């Protein structure tokens, strides 16, 4: 389930294609290993991208093909320009009836988290929300859906063997976008919904973005502070570094639980999943719940006094040292422009 805003396809759509490609290939591979007949696109099951909206950019639809979709099904009408759950759900249900998909995945965005439960109930299908991992079960070809549970303290694997389609929402930034393959071929199908499917008892009056949440999830650079900062009074030390880099400020769960920063700053399974170009962890030990929320970052820098801290297992660059000595020096050098390209 791809998403658009103002007619432009959103990044989450490309991330979902990564997930979809992996599932399609595993589903066929598992089936062929058991001697069953294999059908689909080439050596794997067909992967379709479904998108609802109005006047969706054609180049963006073609990009979905280039990033792995075998076909793009675009259902367009003026009433679908902005998300409203009733018309979106009615259109999705018609598409489910027409195409009979085995698996439907969507982003765990405000749209996906609203639409998918509504559709699942209407379609009598199983749904697992906020997944961080998806796989195919070897013997049954059921979708295995991994998500945090009990406040992020355990990882639950869920399946819905008796109902189809199998439905999941996936955390944004939990995987990288599917790479673009220029000149890849596929089919774009544009559909017009019937008027009876476009009615809604809800009207969109206005939209006010949560800027604080977006700044963390969309930031190119994120500086994350962990329990090693010791007390709330020391947070400005890290905030100054973040400001010098033009970075968003994040925190581990320990910092949030102690009330040193507010929940919108939390990075990890029970907070935000991020994938910035640069992640800097300061005094972050690297618990598995935190690593799952940031390990797709392009470059990871860790500063910790404990050389055995788990964060170093995923770091591209590590500094073993006292953050109260390292961070002020690093901040000063950044402000002095020592790291700027000449």
Q: Could you tell me if residue 206 is inside a domain?
A: no
Query: Which spans in the chain are helix H?
Result: 11-33, 58-66, 85-99, 110-123, 211-218, 235-245, 253-257, 288-291, 323-335
Say which CATH number the domain at 74 has: 3.40.50.620
Cα–Cα distance list, 66 to 19, 69, 168 (Å): 15, 7, 24
b/e map of 7-17 (b: 16 or more CB within 10 Å)?
A: eebbebbbbbb
Residue 215 within any structural domain of the chain: yes
Residues 179 and 244 grouped into a single domain? no
Domain end among 197, 223, 254? 197
> Residue 29 pLDDT more than 80?
no
CA gyration radius, the chain = 22
CA distance 245 to 219: 11
Question: Residue 341 domain-assigned?
Answer: no
* C-beta of residue 27 within 8 angstroms of C-beta of residue 141: yes
The pLDDT value recorded for residue 33 is 46
The total number of structural domains that make up the chain: 2
Q: Note the pLDDT tens digit of each residue in 133-184.
A: 899 988 788 999 988 776 656 778 998 888 889 999 998 888 889 999 988 9
Per-residue model confidence (pLDDT) at position 213 = 52
Give the end of a domain, one of 197, 228, 247. 197
The answer on 131 and 232 residing in a single domain is no
Look at residues 151, 167, 197 and tell me which one is the last residue of a structural domain: 197
Indicate if 57 and 186 belong to the same structural domain: yes
Structure tokens at 297: 């970052």
**What residues make up the domain containing 275?**
211-335
In this structure, are residues 234 and 247 in contact, taking their beta carbons and an 8 Å threshold?
no
Instruction: Report yes or no on 202 lying in a domain.
Output: no
pLDDT at 72 over 80: yes
Say yes or no: 171 and 242 in one domain. Answer: no
Q: What pLDDT does residue 338 have?
A: 66
Is it the case that residue 340 has pLDDT exceeding 80? no
pTM for this prediction: 0.74
Helices (H), 141-287: 211-218, 235-245, 253-257
User: pLDDT tens digits, residue range 255-313?
Assistant: 999 999 988 899 987 788 888 889 999 999 988 888 888 888 889 999 999 999 999 99
CATH number for position 267: 3.40.50.1220
Question: Does a structural domain hold residue 180?
Answer: yes
**136 and 263, same domain (yes or no):** no
Predicted confidence at residue 27, as pLDDT, reads 82
Same domain, 184 and 217: no
Q: Which residues pair with 101 in a beta bridge?
A: none
Q: Is the pLDDT reported for residue 36 higher than 50? A: no
Quick one: average pLDDT of 201-217? 75
Write down how long the chain is. 342
Residues 40, 178 share a domain: yes
Residues 216 and 180 in one domain: no
| Per-residue pLDDT band at 37 (split at 50, 70, 90) | very low
Q: Note if the bond before 165 is cis, omega within 30 degrees.
A: yes
Whether residues 8 and 49 fall in one domain: yes
302 shares its domain with 175: no
The answer on 216 and 93 residing in a single domain is no
Q: 147 and 83 in one domain?
A: yes
Report whether pLDDT(19) > 60. Answer: yes
């Amino acid at each position: 389930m791809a998403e658009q805003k103002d007619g432009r396809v959103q990044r989450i759509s490309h991330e979902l294609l990564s997930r979809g490609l992996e599932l399609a290939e595993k589903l066929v591979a598992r089936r062929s290993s058991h001697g069953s007949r294999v059908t689909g696109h080439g050596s794997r099951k067909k992967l379709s991208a479904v998108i609802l909206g109005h006047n969706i950019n054609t180049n963006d639809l073609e990009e979905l093909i280039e990033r792995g979709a075998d076909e793009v099904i675009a259902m367009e009408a003026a009433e679908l320009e902005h998300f409203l759950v009733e018309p979106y759900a009615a259109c999705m249900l018609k598409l489910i009836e027409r195409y009979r998909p085995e698996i439907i995945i969507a982003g765990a965005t405000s749209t996906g988290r609203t639409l998918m439960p509504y559709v699942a109930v209407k379609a009598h299908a199983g749904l697992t929300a906020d997944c961080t991992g998806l796989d195919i079960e070897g013997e049954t070809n059921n979708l295995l859906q991994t998500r945090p549970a009990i406040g992020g303290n355990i990882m639950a694997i869920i399946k819905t063997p008796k109902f189809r389609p199998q439905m999941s929402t996936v955390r944004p930034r939990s995987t990288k976008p599917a790479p673009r393959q220029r000149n890849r071929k596929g089919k774009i199908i544009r559909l017009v919904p019937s008027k009876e499917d476009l009615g809604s008892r809800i009207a969109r009056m206005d939209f006010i973005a949560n800027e604080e949440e977006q700044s963390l999830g969309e930031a190119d650079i994120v500086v994350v502070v962990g329990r090693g900062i010791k007390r709330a009074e020391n947070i400005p030390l890290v905030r100054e570094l973040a400001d010098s880099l033009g970075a968003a400020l994040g925190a581990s769960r320990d910092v949030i639980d102690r009330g040193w920063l507010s929940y919108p700053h939390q990075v990890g399974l029970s907070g935000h999943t991020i994938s910035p170009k640069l992640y800097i962890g300061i005094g972050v030990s690297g618990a598995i719940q935190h690593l799952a929320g940031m390990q797709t970052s392009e470059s990871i820098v860790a500063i910790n006094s404990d050389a055995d801290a788990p964060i170093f297992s995923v770091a591209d660059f590590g500094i073993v040292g006292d953050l109260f000595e390292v961070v002020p020096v690093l901040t000063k050098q950044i402000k002095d422009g020592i790291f700027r390209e000449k």
